[in-house]
Amino acid sequence: MSLFRPQVDSMTAYIPGEQPQTAGWIKLNTNENPYPPSPAVVEAIQKAATTRLNMYPDPLSTKFRQAVAPLFHVDPDWVLPGNGSDEVLMMILKTFVDPGEVISFPYPSYILYGTLAEIQGARFEHLPLNSDWSFNTTACQPVVDRSKIVFVPNPNSPSGNRWSDDELSSVRPKKGILLVDEAYGDFADTPHQGELVRNDASKTTIVTRTLSKSYSLAGIRLGFAIAHPDVIAGIRKVKDSYNCDAIALAAGVAAITDQAYMHQTRAKILATRKRLADALPSLGFAVTPSQANFVWTQHESRQHKKIYELLKDQKILVRYMKFDRPESEAPLGSTRDGLRITIGTDEEITQFLGTLKQVISKV
Amino acid sequence: MSLFRPQVDSMTAYIPGEQPQTAGWIKLNTNENPYPPSPAVVEAIQKAATTRLNMYPDPLSTKFRQAVAPLFHVDPDWVLPGNGSDEVLMMILKTFVDPGEVISFPYPSYILYGTLAEIQGARFEHLPLNSDWSFNTTACQPVVDRSKIVFVPNPNSPSGNRWSDDELSSVRPKKGILLVDEAYGDFADTPHQGELVRNDASKTTIVTRTLSKSYSLAGIRLGFAIAHPDVIAGIRKVKDSYNCDAIALAAGVAAITDQAYMHQTRAKILATRKRLADALPSLGFAVTPSQANFVWTQHESRQHKKIYELLKDQKILVRYMKFDRPESEAPLGSTRDGLRITIGTDEEITQFLGTLKQVISKV
């Protein structure tokens, strides 16, 4: 007899994108920032390495919260950091969702939400989309109505589309939380600065952010939630006492403080994104307009999986994604698959486009 | 109407020991190692700061598992690292314990187990102890029988006592997991080296370890579980993909590799522990024999809380602990409280003893 919980026995673990540990790859598959973090971050880590690592970190992450808060025009008690936004999302589930309750999210989007729901013993449902990635509001309504949390990645992955504030309002549950996952928020045309939570009189909006993408710090695991202090206080109850380590916090403060550097790498990525999006159609690809650091693209006739494999043979990794369920058909077309391509450096994208051209001629 | 889960609404968050963020304190309250980590750790962090922090860390923590495994005479697939052993404990609960099921642990011991059970919606019970901190096996048996997981911190906190392998066997659940939390394992007279899991034919033993104590790395948050690979594979399903950051993993490899340094600081701490334990009785304190990096002590007549407060006035922090429930009375005496004193440097303990002598004369 298995000792595992039935949920755990039956679940398939979430499979993250490939992370080759060898050198020489052009990695355009997991939406990492191709640029290193700010030099101030490197300096902060090297300094933190020599300071009282034998002691526990600040359980309240005070300095980090103080650094983050002004960016969103809130006080530090509106901010709760975690070990990557994955941990923040799990804490939020543990805070609000009882086993058997329902959470929902657009589909196709970030499938980890479903895995987290399974771990919590909750059920998940999908918010159906129209062919232009807008919400199919009629079909969404009953799902939203029974959701304890509606998760909306905004900009969305794999599509890169961004829903307007009005569209977000249309999927706000009556008796639940609207969680807007802004992992890619800094790459949007006009990034939010806390308006969603500050302007929500019902105090039921949570925005999550990460330093993995726009701040080039996927390696240190630091994300945070922004919400009304009453909400934050509840989430804090389920938090590990010392969930953020001293070095990550020092790196985070340095990264957040150096806004000029973030805006500089953001500008480079947006320029490269435009170049990639402009080039792909000439190779037969349709490109979904993106406000993130990646583009979702589908070829008019060639097999996406084959393209992915041939690129991999050349040590270029992109993300091949296929969404199986019927409700995913609207925005994805009949093949229900495609390629998500992270915006690398200009040189990486030049090399990618050259290789892609050769690959297309072979499939 | 509250949106929080009923468990979350009703629970009191676990309160960690005080962590003053200002300088000048002698901190003997949270069982940190008073010595800095190995110089090799500082070097590894400073090097890691300049290497691809924009990329996600290895989701399998391969190099760290390879470094750890030989110490316990197991293969790397017997090892699962986490963001501190707190995260490892929570992952284990999520893997094995359904809401409504029972977990148990000795009392008095580490009360966080109860908090984690509450978060999971599980119930917790206590394993009653005799006055010498041995298990009251008759009273324990029915509790063990209904436990999905029995948690045993070994050595125990706050007492510092260590149960023998035979005693541990006596609290192994028939249909559940025996979790031996060896956070303080390296300070024992004869530390375990994986025997508990390797020799368990039923594959239901999990040992957890941390780098916070013996490796002086409370600041970086790194712990791990050791268990049969079938057990590890189940726990991995509920793990965040990237739960350990690149810098913590690099620091961990360096710390584990420098065994000579760990044994050197361990030897210093054990010598200071003996000096402290020998000195306390002359001030009227009874000391529980300790195999950890702290001692549990009770004064024959003075109020422990008052002693704690007067020490704090002098910027010396020790841990005042009071255990409320009736079943705690056996090992604690009628006051059910006492002081847990972390072993600091020799100088810190000298200063502590001097101040304590003055304080005792005042209460």
pLDDT score, position A355: 98
- Average of pLDDT values for A277-288? 98
As a whole number of angstroms, the distance between CA B160 and CA B186 comes to 12
pLDDT beyond 70 at A326: no
As a whole number of angstroms, the distance between CA A298 and CA A329 comes to 13
For residues A76 and A189, membership in a common domain is answered with yes
Residues of A in contact with B56 (CB under 8 A): 16, 19, 30, 32, 212, 218-219
Task: Select the residue from A2, A3, A212 to test the B interface by mutation, using most B Cβ atoms within 10 A.
Answer: A3
- CA B168 to chain CA centroid, Å, is 17
For residues A43 and A95, membership in a common domain is answered with yes
* Residue B69, min C-alpha distance to chain A (Å): 20
**Quick check: B82 and A221 in contact, CB under 8 A?**
no
Q: Inter-axis angle of helices A39-48 and A246-257, to 10 degrees?
A: 150
* Residue A255, min C-alpha distance to chain B (Å): 12
Beta-carbon pairs below 8 A across chains A and B: 235
For residues A66 and A191, membership in a common domain is answered with yes
pLDDT beyond 70 at A329: no
Express as a percent the part of chain A with pLDDT over 90.
89
- Average of pLDDT values for A337-348? 97
Q: Quick check: helix, strand or coil at residue B1?
A: coil
Integer-rounded Cα Rg, in Å, for chain A is 20
As a whole number of angstroms, the distance between CA B87 and CA A239 comes to 10
For residues A242 and A357, membership in a common domain is answered with no
Six token digits for residue B1: 């109407």
Residue B305 at interface with chain A, using a CB cutoff of 8 Å: no
Query: Residue B9: inside a domain, yes or no?
Result: no
- Interchain contact, B54 vs A220, CB within 8 Å: no
For residues B200 and B274, membership in a common domain is answered with no
Residue B176 at interface with chain A, using a CB cutoff of 8 Å: yes
- CA B68 to chain CA centroid, Å, is 18
pLDDT score, position B27: 96
- Interchain contact, B14 vs A241, CB within 8 Å: yes
Residue B111 at interface with chain A, using a CB cutoff of 8 Å: no
Residues 6+ apart with CB under 8 A from B89: B112, B113, B116, B151, B179, B181, B208
As a whole number of angstroms, the distance between CA A279 and CA A267 comes to 19
Task: Select the residue from A4, A86, A103, A342 to test the B interface by mutation, using most B Cβ atoms within 10 A.
Answer: A4
Six token digits for residue B244: 């350990």
What is the per-residue pLDDT across A186-215, written as a single tens digit (0 to 9) for each? 999 999 999 999 999 999 999 999 999 999
- Interchain contact, A46 vs B49, CB within 8 Å: yes
Residue A33 at interface with chain B, using a CB cutoff of 8 Å: yes
Residues 6+ apart with CB under 8 A from B316: B25, B26, B28, B351, B352, B355
Option in A219, A234, A238 nearest B52 (CB): A219
pLDDT score, position B1: 57
- pTM for this one? 0.95
As a whole number of angstroms, the distance between CA A123 and CA A101 comes to 6
Query: Residue B4: inside a domain, yes or no?
Result: no
Residue A171 at interface with chain B, using a CB cutoff of 8 Å: no
Specify the number of domains making up chain A.
2
pLDDT score, position A111: 87
For residues B225 and B138, membership in a common domain is answered with yes
pLDDT score, position A2: 85
φ/ψ (deg, to 5) at A38? -55, 140
- Interchain contact, B219 vs A247, CB within 8 Å: yes
Q: Which amino acid, residue A301?
A: S
As a whole number of angstroms, the distance between CA B114 and CA B123 comes to 8
For residues B331 and B204, membership in a common domain is answered with no
Query: Residue B14: inside a domain, yes or no?
Result: no
Option in A16, A37, A248 nearest B54 (CB): A37
Number of neighbouring beta carbons within 10 Å of residue B175? 11
- Interchain contact, B248 vs A246, CB within 8 Å: no
Minimum CA–CA partner of B243 in chain A: A83
**Domain end point (choices A234, A258, A282):** A258
For residues B99 and B153, membership in a common domain is answered with yes
Strand partners, B82: B223
Residues 6+ apart with CB under 8 A from B98: A5, A6, A121, B122, B148
- Interchain contact, A49 vs B46, CB within 8 Å: yes
For residues B292 and B309, membership in a common domain is answered with yes
Domain of residue B248: give its range.
39-259
- Interchain contact, A246 vs B49, CB within 8 Å: no
- Interchain contact, A5 vs B97, CB within 8 Å: yes
Residues of B in contact with A177 (CB under 8 A): 3
Residue A347 at interface with chain B, using a CB cutoff of 8 Å: no
Query: Residue B7: inside a domain, yes or no?
Result: no
Query: Residue A302: inside a domain, yes or no?
Result: yes
For residues A82 and A191, membership in a common domain is answered with yes
Option in B19, B41, B242 nearest A221 (CB): B242
pLDDT score, position A14: 76
Which residue carries 């780098």 as its tokens?
Answer: B211
Report the CATH number at residue B289. Answer: 3.90.1150.10
Query: Residue A279: inside a domain, yes or no?
Result: yes
Q: Which amino acid, residue A327?
A: E
- Interchain contact, B56 vs A212, CB within 8 Å: yes
Residue B144 at interface with chain A, using a CB cutoff of 8 Å: no
pLDDT beyond 60 at A1: no
Minimum CA–CA partner of B60 in chain A: A19
Query: Residue A10: inside a domain, yes or no?
Result: no
For residues A132 and A82, membership in a common domain is answered with yes
Minimum CA–CA partner of B265 in chain A: A54
Residues of chain B with confidence (pLDDT) below 50:
none
Query: Residue A113: inside a domain, yes or no?
Result: yes
For residues B254 and B265, membership in a common domain is answered with no
Report the CATH number at residue B103. Answer: 3.40.640.10
pLDDT beyond 90 at A75: yes
ipTM for the complex shown: 0.94
**Domain end point (choices B224, B259, B294):** B259
* Residue B312, min C-alpha distance to chain A (Å): 18
Residue B217 at interface with chain A, using a CB cutoff of 8 Å: yes
Residue A111 at interface with chain B, using a CB cutoff of 8 Å: no
Residues of A in contact with B98 (CB under 8 A): 5-6, 121
Minimum CA–CA partner of B23 in chain A: A52
- Higher local confidence (pLDDT), A29 or A334: A29
Residue A122 at interface with chain B, using a CB cutoff of 8 Å: no
**Domain end point (choices B259, B277, B296):** B259
